[in-house]
Amino acid sequence: MANKKVAVITGSAQGIGKELASRLASDGFRIVLSDVNESLLQETANEFENKGIEVTYFVGDVTKPEDQQGLVQQAVDTFGSVDVFINNAGVEGQVGPITDVDPKSVDLVMDINVKGVLYGIQAAAKQMIKQGTGGKIINACSIAGQEGFEMLAPYAASKFAVKGLTQTAAKELARHKINVNAYCPGIVGTGMWERLDEKFREHLGTKKGEAFEKFSEGIALGRSQTPEDVANLVSFLASEDSNYITGQSILTDGGMVYR
């Protein structure tokens, strides 16, 4: 029987990343979890182990190229390969008018959401090229990477950059049979939206949960998104069924942004 494939997921201690890891484990992958939040990462890894999932974890910061290389090395040392690498880690940064954007917040968002994805692509691609068996690199984009959203200037800029990186990497890596795609979720009720809701409150004077509800009202299918909805797309992008798709940033938002 062929060896089980190995999937690496950054920012997977919680939220969408954790659900992607769980879904890919059900799909038959060995799982490498990674996050900068060490205690939560350990908790998630224990939870996976208790469910009988073949898992290892690596504490790492996606903004550091050496951590991304360390993450890949951990996957290879533990399970022998990297077949799928998901650049999921991301932050929302500052919420506020473009005239008030603070340079420190721009740096933070660009470091994590853009440089983090770039260094992840580099580390994964080098290993996949060495293996010579192709692979899938999958990046976290957003509806905000397809359309600018008010009060989210640095975040939207960072996600548009992810779209650019996805296209560039797809063109460069296609000859190595490495597919590079991105998922663009809509309004997903994770820790990120808890923080966004709070930050919108400060600016708009909304009540707790109101900003999240207001954004969700614009969804044609009539409900906010779950991490499982995102995992349905990512599972496909990680599978052989998507072998003829590359360079795409695919919306999964219940009908909010139309491209």
Residue 237, class by beta-carbon neighbours within 10 Å (0-12 exposed, 13-18 middle, 19+ buried)?
Answer: buried
C-beta contacts of 156-163 below 8 A and 24+ residues apart: 157/109, 157/110, 158/90, 158/93, 158/109, 158/110, 158/113, 158/114, 159/113, 159/184, 161/110, 161/113, 161/114, 162/113, 162/114, 162/117, 162/249, 163/249
Q: Which of 192, 210, 214, 226 binds ligand CC(=O)C(C)=O (CB under 6 A)?
A: 192
Name the residue nearer to ligand NAI (CB basis): 130 or 223: 223
> Does 228 participate in binding ligand NAI (rule CB under 6 A)?
no
Stretch that binds ligand CC(=O)C(C)=O, among 8-16, 21-29, 46-54, 138-146 (CB under 6 A): 138-146
Q: Which tokens is 39 given?
A: 């205690």
82: partner contacted, choices ligand CC(=O)C(C)=O, ligand NAI, none (Cβ within 5-8 A by kind): none
> Does 15 participate in binding ligand NAI (rule CB under 6 A)?
yes
Q: How many Cβ atoms from other residues are within 10 Å of residue 242's Cβ? A: 19
Binding mask 83-122 toward ligand NAI (x if CB under 6 A, else -) reads: -----xxxx--------------------x---x------
Which amino acid is located at 257 in the chain?
Answer: V
What is the number of the residue whose Cβ is closest to ligand CC(=O)C(C)=O?
Answer: 142
Could you give the dihedral angle defined by the CA atoms of residues 2, 232, 186 and 250, in that order, rounded to the nearest 10 degrees?
60
Stretch that binds ligand NAI, among 30-38, 70-78, 200-208, 232-240 (CB under 6 A): 30-38
Are residues 7 and 84 in contact, defined by beta-carbon separation less than 8 angstroms? yes
The side-by-side arrangement of strands in the sheet containing 135-140 is 55-59, 30-35, 6-10, 84-87, 135-140, 178-185, 249-252
Which amino acid is located at 72 in the chain?
Answer: V
Q: Which of 11, 6, 2, 15 is nearest to 192 (CA)?
A: 15
Name the residue nearer to ligand NAI (CB basis): 83 or 229: 229
Stretch that binds ligand CC(=O)C(C)=O, among 8-16, 77-85, 111-119, 140-148 (CB under 6 A): 140-148
Size of the site for ligand CC(=O)C(C)=O (CB under 6 A): 6
Name the residue nearer to ligand NAI (CB basis): 89 or 238: 89
Q: Which of 143, 161, 230, 234 binds ligand CC(=O)C(C)=O (CB under 6 A)?
A: 143
Residues lying near ligand NAI in the complex (CB under 6 A) are found at 10-11, 13-17, 35-37, 61-63, 88-91, 112, 116, 140, 142, 185, 187-188, 190-193
Residues lying near ligand CC(=O)C(C)=O in the complex (CB under 6 A) are found at 92, 142-144, 149, 192
